[in-house]
Amino acid sequence: MQISMTVNGSDVTSEIEPRVLLVHYIREVLGLTGTHWGCDTSNCGTCVVLMDGQPVKSCTVLAAMAAGHDIRTVEGLATGGTLDPVQQGFMEEHGLQCGFCTPGMMLTARALLDKNPHPDDAEIRQAISGQICRCTGYATIVRSVQWAAAHPAGPGLDDAPATGHSAGTGLDGTDTAVPDVAAEIEDTEVKA
Amino acid sequence: MQIPAPFDYVRATTVENALELLARYGPESRVVAGGHSLLPMMKLRLSRPEWLIDINDLYELDFILRDGNKLRVGALTRHTTLLESDEVAGLFPIVRDAERVIADPVVRNRGTIGGSLCQADPAEDLSTVCDVLGAEAVIRGPGGERILSMSEFHRGPYETAVGQDELLCEVRFGIRPRSGSAYEKVERRVGDWAVGAAGAAVTLTADGTVDDAAVGLTALGLDHPLAGAAAVLRGRHPDEELFAEAGRLAAEACNPVADQRGPVDYKRHLADELTQRVLRRACARAAQTQEG
Amino acid sequence: MTLIHDRQSNPAAGDEDRPIGYGRIQRKEDPRFVRGKGHYLDDIVLPGMLHGAILRAPVAHAKLVSIDTTNALAHPKVVAVITGKDLLGLKLAWAPTLSADVQAVLVTDKVRFQGQEVAFVVAEDRYAARDALELIDVEYDVLPPLVDARKALDADAPVIRDEIEGRTDNRIFDWEMGDKAETDAVFASADVVVSQEVVYPRVHPAPMETCGAVADFDAVNGKLTLYETTQAPHAHRTLFAIVAGIPEHKIRIVSPDIGGGFGNKVGIYPGYILAVVGSIVSGRPVKWVEDRSENLMSTSFARDYIMQGEIAATRDGKILALRTHVLADHGAFNATAQPTKNPAGFFSIFTGSYDLLAAHCSVTGVYTNKAPGGVAYACSFRVTEAVYLVERMVDILARKLDMDPAELRLKNFIKPEQFPYANKTGWVYDSGNYEAAMRLSMQLAGYEDLRREQAEKRERGELMGIGVSFFTEVVGAGPRKHFDIVGLGMADGAELRVHPTGKAVVRISVQSQGQGHETTFAQIVAEELGIPPEDIDVVHGDTDQTPFGLGTYGSRSTPVSGGAVALVARKVREKAKLIAGAMLETRPEDLEWEKGRWFVKGDPSAGKTIAEIAMAAHGTMTLPEGVDGNLDAEVTYDPPNLTFPFGAYICVVDIDPGTGQVKVRRFIAVDDCGTRINPMIIEGQVHGGLTDGVGMALMEIIEFDADGNCLGGSFMDYLIPTAMEVPDWETGFTVTPSPHHPIGAKGIGESATVGSPPAIVNAVVDALAPFGVTHMDMPCTPARVWAAMQGRARPPI
């Protein structure tokens, strides 16, 4: 069957089998491999794309069902070479490790911020609760979305301060460096 | 990745058209709305329809409107829409209670009330919600429209009164003053199906005693609202003793099965505990509307 | 690259003008990932590529009677159907495992677990491959399965590996460490002895990206290029040479971006071999990618240890000895990825962080009709099980002695002055200051206040629990003389080239699955050479491009490969010194190193930067005798010992007394991984591991029914925490460098996965103390917690 839809602002038309899943259409027909998949049962949210601005699990939408709709994938997040604040936020706040769930997480974050520009942490956690990240433990994803909320026009284009997070507290609340020991190690003879 | 077996696809344009398509393609056709129950089953090849009739373009079924003392909800209304509707939450707080814990936010963007009710999974939350609210199902078919009570609508697990050539179009809720409702679910993790859940709807009389009440259970082996709950509750002043009595009734009446989510004794305990909790909250909410 | 934080975590820092090395910098790999430009296995498309799909057994134990592939072969898009019989002809039906056993690539005689590989379809597209699986007719003769490991050694148990000549039972190995007589003697005279069976159920690493391979066999050149989701590309190359008989120089393994590994991507799975066979048979590239159920049901699981623990102590709380016997369920094939001499991995570190008089452990490994595997899910070769056992036993002892669990630990820690510390099972802990970490975690948690709050809540019938755990990890294997995997010593290589303009490329043998190697290893070179990290390219994951080494697992990348990278950079620095001497016309010994340049002692203005030296090395200048014209070096690092990261964790839970639902309210993690390279990445590693801990403690389990059906075969049933189940993590750190590691780093990848489950379970059990609960096994699901409250806690297996 023939389907047409808008993907990242471009009109696309293809001849497909009715059973083609939207995630396969995006990845294999359109070659946009930034959208990933991680399960078969719509539980993991790795495949999330925006359909008419709303996050959907593209493994559980037929490409045929998406015909006539507006699809946005991770490749459509940056505009004119400028990263979306969400993308910047994920880099600033270490919101990703292996990067596999990241496109879906970022798209859900974008949809959330479009609807609610200043979410609290609980609202962010709720918004991403249909998506699994096996690496980050989510706290840095929450911080990343907050970074984007604080920088709606992106880095350097607004005056909002970066959300500073210490990577941890040392003994007495300060750095616990042991300079002497480290200096000795620096001097250790190299045995290669 | 799992892939459905081949099928043909057609998109319905109107309810009439959908009914025509259902008649044309017969028993091997299935209606798809949100698709979040059907498509995973098809991918695992547990379901193999020959035709999929996509009703997502039936915008005429995507509505929430107040019509006198009824709230009418179109079958294609998405879970997210129901969750976010302040009007629905004001009239029937149980709907927001339940919608918060149905699947996850992304799934709720696609899933519909009609799809949930027609799937009739024993662990499905909205069935219990509609049961205790005494909702009506508006079904259209070749013979026209018929309106069923929830007890007529539900035929058992995964089975409803909607015929193969029919379409659930609307769900209607009666609005009653001095009413409150609540839903609570225990799940192993956000997005998991219920270990057990309970819903309650209560209407109070002007003097604060129970005028009418309904209690329903999800995933606990009780297909219809708890028989006798209304009888026990009616005319009594809502207090802890009464809630405990209703809880005991629920535990006795339920018929859960052991599975990975828990053994029978735990589920029976949940029937008791959750019944008490939702009645307590529903009564408090009803009292609040009374004060307001 | 933006430098966000100052380099506060760098032990050697202090001078603001130092070149960028360690510190919090953004990751070099992130720009591609946030644009959707990561390149994962399933993103690979080769010209003419075919797709493979595996038919899997629906039952756990059955004789294979017949396979009829006629209908599948008749499918217009099917190119080949491969069965076990075909593989027998190619001598590929059985492949060696990483534990000196063999595993069936495709079933030839009988099915030994549900989900086992039965046939392989190669087709024009993945939809057709999937469809054709339904066209294969297989007849099975179902046999009684062995599901319960506790019955594996019963006389009437079905023998699973009856293809092995002379085998009459399901015993794989018996292994012990420590002095049994000495330990028994201490137990016999101890004031207090506490016993408890502690079960660590089967779980699965379940990375978000499943496993897969694209095999491209070039028949003309005889060269196999195999793209694989692998954490250990070099080890795989050697193993493929052995398994497939392809000469090793004709094999190129490429590990692209990996969507999470956690140990799941260490082993060689039948699917990888089948993709290779498919490519050889069809003459075209073949892609095979698991679906989620295949991943959960057939690839390497983790844990599955039934541990009988005993702890001996004096009445006043001095811990004297530990002993345990473990029944280890290894599934149908012993395919555990672990060092050859360690059939139970590093489990013998179960003595934990305590100064004991004696300890003894014994482990019996058995076959069952379940998927093979055993070491995965960030477990540091079974340290996870070891730490869980000892930390549960210490908590049970604290309850018995009516002592605060934190106090009991503080009383028994190995003291800083005792390091290096030889424990009773043969390990030499490199360095530690356990009390400092414990006290910091208590300070961050507000431990005393929490105990007060708990007491108040108990008065009101509310269930709040505070769980403490303290772990000592053992990571960074080798040394190679002690540790090998199928004969390959556990060392890692590094090659460094500084190009004429002073930009560098470092090639490493380990493979990132999200740990940020492209950043961390660039920072190590940056620290050593003064070249900014953005000017250093890290190449990994391609055996044609990188030096040999054993790969990334067991938290070994920084301890082993990090050491290699530091040493190769120092080698380059020493070479640069010779060239700088020639450039400055001075003796090398008169030069001093600082901030990325060699300068003349006493005359800092007379110096040459690494970039200047690199240009000279490649230029026309006459180089000193014996110095060749480049600024390159290579090393293979064989660590002199393992490293021993440690940490103190405190977890606060609230339990709904009416439903048994557990909410992790707070989690405080103090980690010591020695020298810290990038605190942002370290924090991320800790957060991820803590989330694993919540998963295992509260919800994750692979269960089987009595027929051997896997009950955790999809993400509907195998539950992984979402953002709603985990708190905002509170982390802290101490720094106790490893004395033997080139930069003092110890590794952090698995610390939190190891340390967090006991903290959470200890918190749950603490919350349930009013009900007399002293132990419950994971996962602490609502139903299981409620059962414990009724005095009916049961092991999950």
CA–CA separation, C129 vs C244, rounded Å? Answer: 24
**C interface toward B at CB cutoff 8 Å?**
126-127, 130-131, 134, 289, 291-293, 658-661, 699, 703, 711, 716-717, 719, 721-722, 724-725, 781-783, 786-787, 790
Instruction: Give the pLDDT confidence score for residue C416 in this predicted structure.
Output: 98
Judged by DSSP in three states, C474 sits in coil
Instruction: Give the pLDDT confidence score for residue A157 in this predicted structure.
Output: 52
Mean pLDDT (chain B, rounded): 96
CB contact under 8 A, C782 and B266: yes
Q: How many CA atoms lie within 13 A of C736 on its CB side?
A: 24
pLDDT tens digits, B4-34? 999 999 999 999 999 999 999 999 999 999 9
Segment C282-290 mean pLDDT: 98
CA distances from A75 to A55, A92, C333 (A): 15, 19, 43
Instruction: Give the pLDDT confidence score for residue A189 in this predicted structure.
Output: 36
Q: Is the pLDDT of residue C161 over 90?
A: yes
Residue A52's closest chain B neighbor by CA? B109
CB contact under 8 A, A140 and C513: no
Contacts of B192 in chain C (CB under 8 A): 716, 719
pLDDT tens digits, C729-777? 999 999 999 999 999 999 999 999 999 999 999 999 999 999 999 999 9
Segment A133-149 mean pLDDT: 98
Residue C295's closest chain A neighbor by CA? A39
Three-class SS of C51-64: EEEEEECCCCCEEE
pLDDT tens digits, C307-318? 999 999 999 999
Q: Among C301, C313, C300, which residue's Cα sits nearest to residue C390?
A: C313
Q: Is the pLDDT of residue A166 over 90?
A: no
Is C229 an interface residue toward A (CB < 8 Å)?
A: no
pLDDT band at C535 (very low <50, low <70, confident <90, very high): very high
Contacts of A18 in chain B (CB under 8 A): 6-9, 52
Q: Is the pLDDT of residue B288 over 60?
A: yes
Query: Any bridge partners for residue C657, and if so which?
Result: none
- Exposed/middle/buried for residue B264 (C-beta within 10 Å: 0-12, 13-18, 19+): middle
Mean pLDDT (chain C, rounded): 96
CA distances from C264 to C48, C193, C261, C300 (A): 29, 38, 5, 6
Q: Is the pLDDT of residue C594 over 80?
A: yes
Report the length, in residues, of chain A: 192
- Contact (Cβ atoms closer than 8 angstroms) between residue A115 and residue A149: no
pLDDT tens digits, B137-186? 999 999 999 999 999 999 989 999 999 999 999 999 999 999 999 999 99
Instruction: Give the pLDDT confidence score for residue A190 in this predicted structure.
Output: 34
Could you tell me whether strands C286-289 and C117-123 are parallel, antiparallel, or unpaired per DSSP bridges?
Answer: unpaired
Chain position carrying tokens 């609040």 = B288
Segment A30-38 mean pLDDT: 98
Residue A106's closest chain C neighbor by CA? C34
Of the candidates A33, A44, A139, which has its C-beta nearest C687's C-beta?
A139
Contacts of B7 in chain A (CB under 8 A): 18-19
Instruction: Give the pLDDT confidence score for residue C19 in this predicted structure.
Output: 52
Rounded to the nearest angstrom, the gap between the alpha carbon of residue A134 and the centroid of all alpha carbons in its chain is 13
**C 314-373 → A contacts, CB under 8 A:** none
Instruction: Give the pLDDT confidence score for residue C15 in this predicted structure.
Output: 46
pLDDT tens digits, B62-83? 999 999 999 999 999 999 999 9
CA distances from C26 to A161, B260, C533, C557, C678 (A): 17, 43, 10, 19, 9
Q: Among C292, C313, C359, which residue's Cα sits nearest to residue A38?
A: C292
CA–CA separation, C56 vs C74, rounded Å? Answer: 20
Nearest C-alpha of chain B: how many angstroms from A150?
A: 23
Instruction: Give the pLDDT confidence score for residue C491 in this predicted structure.
Output: 96
CA–CA separation, B246 vs B201, rounded Å? Answer: 13
pLDDT band at B1 (very low <50, low <70, confident <90, very high): confident
- Contact (Cβ atoms closer than 8 angstroms) between residue A141 and residue A103: no
Nearest C-alpha of chain B: how many angstroms from C289?
A: 7
Instruction: Give the pLDDT confidence score for residue A156 in this predicted structure.
Output: 56
Q: What percent of chain C has pLDDT over 70?
A: 98
CB contact under 8 A, B40 and A41: yes
Tokens for C574? 């020493």
pLDDT tens digits, B87-96? 999 999 999 9
Which of A50, A96, A135, A136 should be substituted to probe chain C, the one whose Cβ sees the most C Cβ atoms within 10 Å?
A: A135
Contacts of B106 in chain A (CB under 8 A): 45, 48, 55-57, 108, 130-131
CB contact under 8 A, B195 and C783: yes
pLDDT band at C551 (very low <50, low <70, confident <90, very high): very high
Instruction: Give the pLDDT confidence score for residue B228 in this predicted structure.
Output: 82
Number of neighbours of residue B244 by Cβ within 10 angstroms: 14
Instruction: Give the pLDDT confidence score for residue A184 in this predicted structure.
Output: 36
pLDDT tens digits, B36-51? 999 999 999 999 999 9
CA distances from B99 to B38, B116, B261, C536 (A): 19, 11, 21, 51
CA–CA separation, C568 vs C547, rounded Å? Answer: 12
Which of B186, B220, B257, B268 should be substituted to probe chain C, the one whose Cβ sees the most C Cβ atoms within 10 Å?
A: B186
Query: Any bridge partners for residue C174, and if so which?
Result: C364
Residue B80's closest chain A neighbor by CA? A54
Segment C346-372 mean pLDDT: 98
pLDDT band at A191 (very low <50, low <70, confident <90, very high): very low
Q: Is the pLDDT of residue C624 over 90?
A: yes
Instruction: Give the pLDDT confidence score for residue C116 in this predicted structure.
Output: 98
Residue A49's closest chain C neighbor by CA? C36
CB contact under 8 A, A35 and C257: no
CB contact under 8 A, A54 and B40: no
